[in-house]
Amino acid sequence: MNGVLIGLLALAMLLGAIRLVRGPTDADRIVAFDLLSACAIAACVLAAALSGRVLYLDVALGVALVAFVGTLAWARAVEKRGARRA
Question: pLDDT tens digits, residue range 4-42?
Answer: 999 999 999 999 999 999 988 888 999 999 999 999 999
In one-letter notation, the amino acid at residue 81 is: R
Length of the chain: 86
In this model, does residue 85 exceed pLDDT 70? no
pLDDT at residue 86, as a whole number: 47
Determine the pLDDT at residue 14.
96
Torsion angle in degrees (nearest 10) through CA of 59, 33, 18, 48 = 20
Q: What is the mean pLDDT of the chain?
A: 91
